[in-house]
Structure 1
Amino acid sequence: MKGALKTRSEERPQDVQNEKQNFSTVFLLVQLVVVLAAIGGYMLYAKRGHTDLQWWKTSVIYQIYPRSFKDSDGDGIGDLRGIISKLDYFQYLNIKAIWLSPFYTSPMKDFGYDISNHTDVDPIFGTLKDFDDLVKESHSRDIKVIIDFVPNHMSDQHPWFQESLKGTGKYRDYFLWSDGKSSFGMRKPPNNWLGVFSGECWRWNEQRKQYYYHAFVKEQPDLNYRNPDVVKDMNDVLRFWMERGVDGIRVDAIMKLFESENIFQDEPRSNRPDVPAFQYEYLTHIHTENLPEIGDVVRGWKKVMDEYEAKDGQSRFIVVELYDPPAIRNKYYDYGAMPFNFDLVEGLKADCGGNCFMEAISNEYDNLPAGEWPKFVLGNHDRKRVSKRFGVESVNVMNMLLLTLKGTPTTYYGEELGMEEIEVSFEETQDPWGINFGKERYTEFSRDPCRSPLQWDASSQSGFTSSSKPWLPVNPGYKTCNVQVQKKKKDSSLNIYKSLATLREAPAFQDPDVQFAVVNDNILSYVRGTANTGRYLVTMNLGHDSSTADYTNEPANAKSGRVVINTENFNEAKFNVGKSVSLSSLTLKPGQGLVLKL
């Protein structure tokens, strides 16, 4: 009969297909509504005068290692044009700032940290026009550009060092030179200092008949910042890049900028067990790290950047690299810079769960100078990937931690996918740090495994390059772990990361303090937000056992919460986005995390 209802068996295939499509559309709309509702209070929040946070406080910063991001010309090495071709990827992820590791002219003895021209682009990465286009295209997408600033050392091929070799003129004392000392008729370096990559850090130069100091590889002589001309010239380098529209700098190896004026002082033993005499950690670096003179130089950089902020009203950003506790790193706030907090990268034990994570995070918050802003990071080009340190199953929950804490998060490329490290034989090892330790110990120190090419799709070389031999091998698991595949899966690491990066723009995740809730050997949880901004419970199992807890007490003070984001580790329907969850007895498995709207 016309208009009669059809039974399931009477439905036509097209009807079934339409029903599936309708269901899929409704499901996606529910997800969208939940996320939009989470940030929907932003306009109201803005009207109340809470829009004074600088861009670097509200942005996720994404570190690009240019060699490994995207190759545009088929030579097997990533480049600036490759980055430009993928800028829409950052819009997809809701990334508002990118940080580029060095792309400057270099002999590549330390992959670009040995710079031979601070004001040009190495041909393997492109040209200055390519860089200008990158800045222009990034800014057109509301993406800020941060560059690596490498002030401590440069290549021995740099014109300044080549002039210094002559021992005359302006550049004579641009570097640390010494006649050394004599012992029983033998010429020796002036002290016992060690290089960061281990071994002697004084190198005899036959042309000048003196030793020069290098904190890193021998092809990277250290600049002498006690020479005011060095300070001025490096300030001018900074001005060069500010003129090209750069929004901020990440300062490399800031702790090494100065050495004691009396270079004939030895550094004392650290007395650390099982550390050989040639290894950097064998000594305590009282004469070569974090000397107070660094402060005035950093203040000078801040002054340069303030000049440009005064011109266009755009805030500029300085973040510095040093692996030190709050008592040391927090001094850099006084200098005008923000220090990285590497406590989540180093120092956490293998069995670390909720309690020790809270201890590390509280250590940052409790010691933060009044009015300052923290900066958390989980990895970078020098440290093992998250999947290696915490396990593949914990990638999503670690990204949840990073993106929901108070502070500016920095993500190393590929962590949004849960990329795993590659295996590199000693014969194929390129990293000088690994090579210095020889075949027996190179795996402890080589940084090659965490620098493999980004996995874009399932095509040859994962879409990174058209070359048959990229500079480092692509991870063999690229066919199932890549951007293209993960974009299509709602519960992929990539899309969970995207949801977290979007949610982080909600007022609740910007400036209110973190209020710790249930914390035990497995669980770390906290509440973000206020009654005005909306309140969220973030709960994560960072341990090794399932854990059941009651979250209804303060600071949650709620009987239930609605799921906004789920790490999706176990595909449990009760934790689907939009579901209401009781807080009186909530069980999470290891590696599982939830963001709940209270």
Structure 2
Amino acid sequence: MTAMTKDKSQHFCSTVKCQCLVLLLTAGCVAAAVCVALLSTAVRGRMPPDMEWWQTTIIYQIYPRSFMDSNNDGIGDIRGIISKLDHFTYLNVKAIWISPVYESPMKDFGYDISNFTNVSPIFGNLTDMANLTEEAHKRGLKVILDFVPNHSSNLHMWFNESVKRTPRYKDYYVWRDGIAGPNGTHSPPNNWLSVFKNSAWEWNEERKQYYYHAFLKEQPDLNYRNPALVEEMQNALRFWLERGVDGFRIDALPYLFEVTNTSWNEPKSNRTDLDPTQYDYLTHPYTQNLMDDMYKVLAGWRDVLDEYENLDEKRRFMVVEAYTKTTAEKIAWYKSAADMPFYFGLLNINKACGGSCIRDIVDEAYKDLPANAWANFVFGNHDNRRVSTKKGPEFVNALNMLLLTLKGTPTTYYGEEIGMLDVNITYNQSVDPQGKVYNESVFLKYSRDPERSPMQWSNDTMAGFTNSTTSWLPVGSNYRTINVETEKDAEGFSTIKLYRTLAKLREEPPFRYGLFKTAVVNNNTYSYLRHAFDFPQYLIAINFGSSTDTSDYTKAPVNAERGVVVANTGNVNATYNVNSNVDLSRITLNSAEGLVIKIINAP
């Protein structure tokens, strides 16, 4: 079988029902002729595979505190999001993921929830949420909510009742006796550590027991070995599905279960760069990724989503935050009830990561995917430094070109479409509890504040984020040049215009569902081909290194001599202007330059 025939066979298998083969073998001439016509169409690529909505769109993460402030208190809110929904229409983004807006005392800025079925007054109310969903759907936008199942706030009614040992709520949380010491003293049940440093056990004087908290002491872990609690959280999903939500991003899923035998201490990691109070001083076999237990709960959540899908035949999406460390873990997550786990490999990009480095990260995403699994890519989020800071601001356009042309669902963190950078935060300005547990000399290593600064909408005061004179975090100092309005109004090239061009290009079959093949790769350049049969082929070539690279792209898999530039990163010479006809035998790219080229004489 030739390479081309093999590719066509693979494409055919993904687009044509197996029953057609049976028909060809058993039916009469007329039926067989009809089937042959269908097969011919499929091989040519005119019959695209069935795809779910979450496979065909960019997912855009909104951190609501920082997106848009409508009431001038310096904090973003739901009405602010509503006011900016047309931004996504402009970008050609069709799904938004909203970080928590639930009722919360805000010890961890919304990830400490005191009511899973209400909205924090800081962000608005349930009517505002209903309006957001309605207005989003009018624009063809799907709405994905953050679901935070691992823990609640210690101010949640459930926890207060659990402290009192009220029968229904007594075991909603993970309670244990301490280890008795001399003179009536006691110590935690074991050496387990919190992600936010120090012991993961907190003494409650009223109940006379310790409770477990993987994160802040104000975030007690819920007990999923209690069927009543499991049902409560399923009902929380139903509450939001009844209100039109299209899916959920599941937060911190690997922490959902702990072993029941709390006499087991977790082993040391043997890292000499950490002190014994830091989370990674230990490994976590007893408090992370208890897969069998998690799968059962996850399957229950999928059943809830399917209840609503069965009513209207509209897919409800579920993506999980699961930092996989092995291929086996990745496969296991893809085979779970979730649609996909986030792939976080690209979070590791840094200044030294060139073409070969990027290739290895991307290949890992595609490696060993189970049948029918769908890849995804993400550069950053509310817990990680912006990729524009990690790799360098000069690479912003190159990075967006990569994200939006790979095969799989891309997730954009707010501000990436305009090239926002981390902000400089002083210790006195810092509000993130993860950073504040450390002293001033090292807090920035752990703080998540720099990547959470307000969205830069315009060059007006406070970047158009608020009419207040202050905001919950400082606005980036570069907002006068890096902002939505200025970039949209630019006469020539801009970062947001490139983003929009690439987002529209993703609608084309080669990018929507076409094959992906690696082309030239070296320490500087990473390139690949996207194509679907009987549609134009596209070459993407990007220089992620520090020096100039000249390469020949005429050999396999491109097998062509010439092409036409359809997009560039804006920093290229005139030879590679959009619509320029280029010689593929000699493409020269300087550092941070990238091209999308339509092949014009492929075989």
State if a TM-score over 0.5 links the two structures: yes
1:168-567 to 2 correspondences below 5 Å: 168-184=166-182, 186-292=185-291, 293-325=293-325, 326-337=327-338, 338-346=340-348, 348=349, 350-489=351-490, 490-567=492-569
How far apart, CA to CA, are the structure 1 residues paired with 2:324 and 2:74?
Answer: 36
Tell me, yes or no, if structure 1 residue 92 matches structure 2 residue 90. Answer: yes
Q: Secondary structure of the equivalent of 2:440?
A: helix
Contact 2:335 2:370 in 1 (8 A): no
CA contact (8 A) 2:543 2:590 kept: yes
Deviation at 1:306, TM superposition (A): 0.7
Among all aligned residue pairs of Structure 1 and Structure 2, give the percentage whose two residues are the same amino acid: 52
**Aligned 1:552-591 pairs, distance under 5 A:** 552-570=554-572, 572-591=573-592
- Give distance in 1, aligned partners of 2:364 and 2:288: 22
Native 8 Å contact 1:214 1:222 kept in 2: yes
The structural deviation recorded for 1:354 is: 1.0
- Identify the residue that residue 30 of structure 1 maps to in structure 2: none
Alpha-carbon shift at residue 511 of structure 1 (Å): 1.9
SS of alignment partner, residue 428 of structure 2: helix
Residue in 2 that maps onto 1:81: 79
In 2, the alpha carbon distance for the partners of 1:152 and 1:379 equals 22
- Secondary structure at 2:245 match in 1: coil
1:35 corresponds in structure 2 to: none
> 2 CA distance for matches of 1:354 and 1:593?
12
Q: Cα offset for 1:424? A: 1.2
Q: C-alpha displacement at 1:334, in angstroms?
A: 1.9
In structure 1, stretches of 5+ residues that fail to align are 1-43
User: What is the CA–CA distance in structure 2 between the aligned matches of 1:484 and 1:202, rounded to whole Å?
Assistant: 48
Distance 1:232 1:49 in 2: 42
Gaps of 5+ in 2: 1-40
- State whether residues 45 and 535 of structure 2, in contact with CA within 8 Å, keep that contact through their aligned partners in structure 1: no
The whole-number CA distance in structure 1 between the counterparts of 2:383 and 2:396 is: 18
Structure 2 residue matching 1:410: 3-state secondary structure: strand
Letter of the structure 2 residue corresponding to residue 166 of structure 1: K
How many angstroms does 1:417 deviate by?
Answer: 0.6
Query: Equivalents in 1 of 2:562, 2:192: separation in Å?
Result: 59
Give, in angstroms, the shift of residue 49 of structure 1.
3.0
Per mean C-alpha deviation after superposition, the further-off stretch among 422-431 and 322-331 is: 322-331
Question: What are the superposed Cα offsets for residues 354-391 of structure 1, whole Å, 9 maximum, x if unpaired?
Answer: 11111111112122112100111000000000111000
Deviations 1:258-311 (A, max 9, x none): 001111110001112311111111111000111021001001111110111111
Higher deviation after alignment, 460-469 or 185-194: 185-194
- TM-score normalised by structure 2 residue count: 0.90
Instruction: Provide the C-alpha distance between the structure 1 equivalents of 2:431 and 2:254, rounded to a whole number of angstroms.
Output: 25
| Partner in structure 1 of residue 100 of structure 2 | 102
Cα distance in 1 for residues equivalent to 2:562 and 2:264: 63
Between 1 and 2, higher relative CO (CA 8 Å, sep ≥ 6) is seen in: 1
- Letter of the aligned partner of 2:299 in structure 1? R
Q: Is the 8 A contact 2:510 2:537 kept in 1?
A: yes
* Cα distance in structure 2, aligned partners of 1:312 and 1:168: 40
**Alpha-carbon offset, residue 349 of structure 1:** 5.2
Contact 1:330/1:339, CA 8 A, preserved across alignment: no
CA shift for structure 1 position 169: 1.1
Tell whether the 8 Å contact from 2:515 to 2:532 is kept in structure 1 after alignment. no
2:7 corresponds in structure 1 to none
What whole-Å deviation, never above 9, does each CA across 1:157-198 have from its counterpart, x for those lacking one? 001001001013110000000111124554111110111111
Matches of 2:472 and 2:108, distance apart in 1: 14
Count of aligned positions: 553
Q: Secondary structure at the match of 2:108?
A: coil
Is the CA contact (8 Å cut-off) linking 1:354 and 1:521 kept in structure 2? yes
The structural deviation recorded for 1:51 is: 5.3
Paired residues of 2:351 and 2:392 also in contact (CA < 8 A):
no
Tell me how far apart the structure 2 counterparts of residues 518 and 48 of structure 1 sit (CA, whole Å): 29
- 1:19-30 aligned within 5 A: none
Residue 39 of structure 1 is matched in structure 2 by none
Is the CA contact (8 Å cut-off) linking 2:150 and 2:221 kept in structure 1?
A: yes
Equivalent position amino acid for 1:154 in 2: S
Q: Is the 8 A contact 1:146 1:247 kept in 2?
A: yes
Conservation of the 8 A alpha-carbon contact between 2:531 and 2:537: yes
In the alignment, the residues of structure 1 paired with residue 331 and residue 544 of structure 2 have an alpha-carbon distance, to the nearest angstrom, of 27
What is the root-mean-square deviation of aligned Cα atoms in Å?
1.3
Deviation at 1:513, TM superposition (A): 2.6
Of stretches 502-511 and 148-157 in structure 1, the one that deviates more from structure 2 is: 502-511
- CA deviations on 1:430-486 (whole Å, 9 max, x unpaired) are 000000112121010111111110011111111100100111111111111111100
Mapped contact 2:404–2:502 kept (Cα < 8 A): yes
**Cα distance in 1, alignment partners of residues 419 and 229 from structure 2:** 42
Q: 1:63-74 to 2 correspondence within 5 Å?
A: 63-74=61-72
Whole-Å separation in 2 of the counterparts to 1:250 and 1:501: 22
- How far does residue 576 in structure 1 lie from its aligned partner after superposition? 1.0
Contact 1:330 1:369 (C-alpha < 8 Å) held by counterparts: yes
SS at match of 2:486: helix
